[in-house]
Structure 1
């Protein structure tokens, strides 16, 4: 079955060229286009695509994304924007249940990988390789966090078993349950059990919230 994507894009050049590039590169993806936000909302509600690909557009896009989420709670939304104002905003987007962020100018092959990654399960997320590189640089600065924070991270880590830390590390790398089970040589259901325990220990309601907390607290750097 083909993956249905709705591209909401006000830039005519992108709205005209990107769908053709995607469909030419991957026959299992179809792309419909809305060139304004009003049409974008109505098309999303009426066609119920597998994924909405849209621009943040200085907050206007986020407002539309919230409306789409309200109308279709389980829909996947991947942002495609020229800039990202801050890493904090990125963490907020992930924690709010959106499925990732890509920068305009991304190679078509990577954008297709992003689209495919969002379809793995309800919590799947994808970060542009350039965003991920910046995020790693930010995380490296966490070496300078306070002693008190270091003690808190150590306390959290001590609550996890070695296997739970292994699962969490792979989750942060973007792996889903099936991939984690193969890499660790354990069953899918064992992975699900470990993830449930991890969510409970971090007081997180979803995998995306687990990932956001790991980055925001510095835990991701210590795994």
Structure 2
């Protein structure tokens, strides 16, 4: 397993390198200060990317996400000490495998990394809930009447065809509305809509 650590902190790079060398079967651990210090082709050769991120380095997430699209096996872990809602939301949208806000407990960290390597995702509970609630509360009111209707039909588990029949619109229009809903609520898929409607206990 090849590990890449991205951080401008010497202490972070040394600590994470030590943790991986001592607890995981790593063939290579490399540390760099910025994503700009490595090319996309080289980035794609790593199995795990651990990156310290803040509001000033958000663009780095875009570059790593691009690499993740090419190498689907790449695991990306983001460390955000600031617990920034913008960073958290961006990380989720980019499909990172882990979002953590501290390194206080070595055993917990090792457990989290093992889960991520095995295929699970881990997001810091309090930070992600705060970010998602803030985002949902801010954007839900901006849905149009028709988008709300489509959202409720999606929450029932209906297909685009069934929604089109129910609302007497075309499937193309349904797709456009769903795309708009996902964008406004910063969601990734229909399952997110279903969870959101149930969590907010929204009714027609």
- TM-score, normalised to structure 2, is 0.59
Partner of 1:63: 59
In the alignment, the residues of structure 2 paired with residue 115 and residue 29 of structure 1 have an alpha-carbon distance, to the nearest angstrom, of: 13
Cα–Cα, structure 1 residues 102 and 38, in superposed 2: closer, same or farther, change >3 Å?
closer
Segments of structure 2 that go 5 or more residues without pairing to the other structure are: 159-177
Moved over 6 A (4+): 148-152
- TM-score, normalised to structure 1, is 0.55
Using the TM superposition, name which of 9-18 and 44-53 deviates more. Answer: 44-53
- Output one character per residue of 1:6-41: Cα deviation in whole Å (capped at 9) or x when no partner: 1112111111123213433x2335662323216752
* Aligned counterparts, 1:4-83, within 5 A: 4-24=2-22, 26-29=23-26, 32-37=29-34, 40-42=37-39, 45=42, 48-60=45-57, 62-71=58-67, 73-74=70-71, 75-83=74-82
Segments of structure 1 that go 5 or more residues without pairing to the other structure are: 161-201
Cα deviation for residue 130 of structure 1 reads 4.0
Q: CA RMSD in A?
A: 4.2
Partner of 1:218: 196
Bigger Cα Rg: 2
Cα deviation for residue 57 of structure 1 reads 3.2
Does the CA-based 8 Å contact 2:80-2:87 persist in structure 1?
Answer: no
In the alignment, the residues of structure 2 paired with residue 31 and residue 113 of structure 1 have an alpha-carbon distance, to the nearest angstrom, of: 20
